[in-house]
Chain A
Amino acid sequence: MQVLAIFIPVIVAIALPFLFKKIRAIHTGWFVLIVPVALFLYYLTFINDTKDGLSAISKLEWIPSLDIAFTSYIDGLSLLFSLLITGIGSLVVLYSIFYLDKTKEKLHNFYIYLLMFMTAMLGVVQSDHVITLYLFWELTSISSFLLIAYWSDRDASRFGALKSMMITVAGGLLMLGGLLLLAMMGGSFSIRELIAAGDLSQGNYFTLALVLILLGAFTKSAQFPFYIWLPDAMEAPTPVSAYLHSATMVKAGIYLVARMTPVFAVSDVWIWLVAGVGILTLTWGSLFAAKQTDLKAILAFSTVSQLGLIMSLLGVSAMAFHVEDAAGTIFKYAGFAAIFHLINHATFKGGLFMIAGIVDHETGTRDIRKLGGLMSIMPISFTVALIGSLSMAGVPLLNGFLSKEMFLTAMLSVMEFDLFNFETFGVLFPVLAFIASVFTFVYSCYFVGHTFLGKYKPESLPQKAHEAPIGMLISPIILAALVIIIFWIPNTVGEWLIKPAVMAVQPFLYTSPAEVMVEVSAWHGFNTELQMTLGIIILGLLLFMTLAKWQKAYAIWPRKLTLNSLYDFVIFAIFERGTENFSKLYMTNSIRRYLIYMFGAIIVMVIGTLFIKDAFVVDWDSGSPIAAYEITLIAVLVIGTLTALFGKSRITSIIGLGAVGYTVALFFVIFNAPDLALTQLVIETISVALFLLAFYHLPKLGRVEERVRFQLGRAIISVGVGVMVTLIALSAHSQKLVDSISSYYKETVYSLAGGGNIVNVILVDYRGFDTMFEIAVLAIAGMGIFSMIKLRMGKEKKNESQ
């Protein structure tokens, strides 16, 4: 049941097209909604076990011979993600019911992709087997591609979809390499066993595997410099952005890093890469979020930045591996903070995305320069947006404050870490964290302030603004409520969800969730973290007030030097234009030229192999004797071939071909192949009838003047092929390196297959697969001919247009 639950969404998806077509009156989303809600409730039942540090496992064999199975392994970490996927999923589906119009949109497509994604995502976070993990991982990329390109008639959607898929799938492939290396070193495909295997760092490929896996995680989680796909992915419908590109899919990379931390924490490369790239992404994303003018683009960059925050926390949490008795020191906070912020981010960012969608839906634009003063018109949306933004900014009384404080604590702890050069560079972490937090505060205010406060500009809005319908508001309100509730009960959440997950991330510190001695409190004295928060708020407010003055500074950076133009350069200049020009060198649109390439290549390869391998041997002695009538037959065959070759009219050539065919049949007779002879004779007869029937339609053979050069090349190639075939035939005849399987057939034909005609028994029994596929091919050829003649699409179209 547990492993089947992963597949429930995609199974339900099969029924959707019928529901959509037959029951138009009810929005298809209502049927879909049942799935995530039911799964959410189902996964809730696991909390009881996981909060005590237990786990549940269930297995479904897939390819037993290769030891590949779908294994659902639910521990604290997997459960937390599963709950996020199904919980946020439920809210998003509910929201989408009001967001997408049931009469205008292709809802069946949308929800099929969404459910497919849900299965893929559940698979990623529950798979214990690295191969199926990869499978689901790429499936998330594919479903994300389909969802981003949902409005496929828009150029930007298709561009964004392709970009996200190019980057994430490429990363996924690298990750597969890393996972396979890891599996090779650890001797197991199971992640649990790899973790239990202990120190793998002595393996030859340890660092390579580490880097490859991180590349997969970084591309998926939009870390610097791979984040560029995420802003373009905002072309997706807003429910998708809220779901995939803030709460779930982009966190797959986080999940992978968290899951792999026990394996790689021993490595300094891991700590530096994860923490360093994370903090860089955090800063970079927050700096550029304040530049954006599109509501969703602001949120996209903010998501990039927040993912960087969680990533850096995971990097720091790996440091605890190197610290003696870390569970009792300041180093214990990072792991907890990472998981805590993950939950908080899902709550406030999901809500903010939904608000951005509501603003877009109700005013017709997402351009923040046209918006303003919506507070009085959309009071509920404003409240939700305010709560979400302030939580993101880290303002007290909201859950974001708690995790932000803890984040600062963790970053301060880096300064106390004295291995791997952190004693010199470690100070960068709190500094960058501070700068990034200031800008986070700025863009949070920017998002709310410029949309809901300020002057109302009805003239610049495409449609008259009004508050969204209540159905659309339910989901963001629930999320906003969670933002507040979590602030008051952080330790309950911690005990149920966070600590079991932390145990999975840092098994080297804890053996049960109860050992995670982290208490969250809103007030812990006037310490450094609180001073930093105050500084952030004051500085942030100052910068927000003067935003209009310095926002222009972003334009100084030349467009040509951005990562996006690098991507465009790689994709368009190198891949598209470069390969196109290269192809044009030899792709001349002449089939005959292509055939010459092919035949030429075959000749070179075969004759080359024959001589390099010294395989060409001729045995002149063995072989059956030559009879006089055989010589006659050969003469007939040659004459027939020449007639077909040089015949001046259609009928001569066809007769020549027929003569060759019948001669071949006679050859079959003398070479003791009665079945072949019979078949060949009948086939030849039917072919003649076929040619006769088609004769009326066939073109006359004209004498076409050929250029001498081509004529010469053609002759050389034909002679080359002829020589090649002769050489193969001679060498194949002259040396029998392995015994033919024929003797087995001869011996067993009566005892095993109960037949007498060996050829026919081979066809229907020993090699029945060949025959089965052969008749399938034959049937396809028949259908092809039928459709070529009966379905004349081109002509009918012409008639219609006339």
Chain B
Amino acid sequence: MEIVMAFVCGFLFMAAVYLILSRSLLRIIIGTGLLSHGAHLLILTMGGLGGESPPVLADGVTDYADPLPQALILTAIVISFGVTAFFLVLAYRAYQELGTDDTSLMKGSDEDD
């Protein structure tokens, strides 16, 4: 399963990078969203997907899933939410102010230089 998941992560990253390298702001945002999903799965896969039960103490259970990657991912999920929201607002504010969502046209006006 881990090997399959490794390829899934690679696929998610590939799609994410492809989107991030596009000109449209919205695609970039979606790309970052995909990137964080990919990263979360990657951390989980690297830690190993074994374990019989969730990492919660219970009687008679000894084979827990690895709790450390989960803790890291939990932090990452919330952060990526904040980042996505920030990007979203940044994008639409930029769109409102500059009238374009094409990053190659957003080089600032001459006055800024």
Contacts and interface: CB of A to CB of B under 8 A. Distances in A.
Q: Do chains A and B touch in the complex (CB under 8 A)?
A: yes
Interface of A: 589-592, 595-596, 599, 618, 620, 623-626, 630, 634, 637-638, 641-642, 644-645, 650, 653-654, 656-657, 660-661, 664, 667-668, 671-676, 679-680, 683, 686-687, 690-691, 694, 697-699, 701-702, 704, 706, 714-715, 717-719, 721-726, 728-730, 732-733, 740-742, 745-746, 749-750, 756-759, 762-763, 767, 770-771, 774, 777-778, 781-782, 784-785, 788-789, 794-795
A130 B52 CA distance: 58
Interface of B: 1-15, 17-27, 30, 33-34, 37-38, 40-42, 44-57, 64-68, 70-71, 73-75, 77-79, 81-86, 88-93, 95-97, 100-104, 107
Contacts of B86: 781, 784-785
26 contacts: A595-B21, A638-B8, A641-B34, A645-B18, A664-B41, A667-B44, A671-B65, A672-B54, A676-B73, A690-B88, A697-B96, A698-B91, A706-B23, A714-B22, A722-B11, A725-B6, A725-B38, A730-B6, A746-B64, A756-B57, A758-B56, A758-B57, A758-B71, A762-B67, A763-B71, A778-B79
Contacts of B95: 697-699
A694 B12 CA distance: 25
Nearest to B10: A726
Contacts of B53: 672
Nearest to A591: B103
A774 B75 contact: yes
Contact of A759 (B67, B84, B89): B67
Nearest to B58: A756
Nearest to A786: B89
A623 B2 contact: yes
Contacts of A657: 30, 33-34
Given A680-B77, A725-B13, A729-B45, A749 B21 contact: no
Given A660-B34, A699-B92, A699-B100, 7 more contacts: A660-B37, A671-B49, A673-B55, A702-B101, A718-B18, A730-B6, A789-B89
A702 B9 contact: no
Contact of A771 (B11, B12, B38, B75): B75
A715 to B, nearest CB: 7
A644 B89 contact: no
Contacts of B96: 697
Contacts of A762: 67-68, 71
Given A745-B67, A789-B93, A679 B42 contact: no
Given A589-B107, A653-B30, A726-B6, A746 B55 contact: yes
Secondary structure at chain B's binding surface: helix, strand, loop or mixed?
Answer: helix
Contact of A733 (B3, B11, B41, B68): B3
Given A667-B41, A746-B64, A782-B82, A694 B92 contact: yes
A683 B81 contact: yes
A780 B100 CA distance: 27
Contact of A676 (B2, B18, B77, B100): B77
B74 A624 contact: no
A777 B21 contact: no
B26 A698 contact: yes
B73 to A, nearest CB: 6
B41 A722 contact: no
Contacts of B44: 667-668, 671, 673
A673 B68 contact: no
Instruction: Identify which of A591, A729, A789 gathers the most chain B CB atoms within 10 Å of its CB.
Output: A729
A579 B92 CA distance: 35
A673 B92 contact: no
A777 B21 CA distance: 26
B3 A730 contact: yes
Contacts of B27: 653, 701
Contact of B20 (A595, A758, A778): A595
A742 B65 CA distance: 10
Nearest to A713: B21
Contact of B42 (A637, A661, A723, A725): A725
A725 B85 contact: no
Contacts of A642: 15
Contacts of A784: 86, 89
A728 to B, nearest CB: 8
A605 to B, nearest CB: 16
Nearest to A669: B54
Nearest to A794: B97
Given A661-B37, A759-B74, A698 B92 contact: yes
A44 B107 CA distance: 63
A732 B27 CA distance: 30
B54 to A, nearest CB: 5
A763 B69 CA distance: 11
Given A624-B49, A758-B56, A777-B79, A746 B15 contact: no
Contact of B54 (A634, A661, A673, A789): A673
Contacts of B74: 675-676, 679, 759, 763
Nearest to A627: B1
Nearest to A674: B54
B40 A664 contact: yes
Nearest to A777: B79
Given A596-B21, A679-B78, A733 B65 contact: no
A758 B64 contact: yes
B50 A721 contact: no
Contact of B26 (A668, A680, A699, A759): A699
A634 B9 CA distance: 11
Contacts of B45: 729, 732-733
A762 B12 CA distance: 28
Interface centre among B23, B25, B68, B93 (most CB of A within 10 A): B68
Contacts of B88: 690-691, 694, 698
A726 B82 contact: no
Contact of A781 (B7, B8, B57, B85): B85
Given A641-B12, A721-B17, A759-B71, A702 B50 contact: no
A641 B93 contact: no
Contacts of B77: 676, 679-680, 683
Contacts of B50: 623-624
Given A745-B67, A756-B57, A759-B70, A644 B19 contact: yes
Contact of B3 (A623, A699, A714, A721): A623
A721 B13 contact: yes
B14 A721 contact: yes
Given A595-B21, A770-B75, A733 B48 contact: yes
Given A624-B1, A644-B34, A675 B70 contact: yes
B70 A676 contact: yes
Contacts of A759: 55-56, 67, 70-71, 74
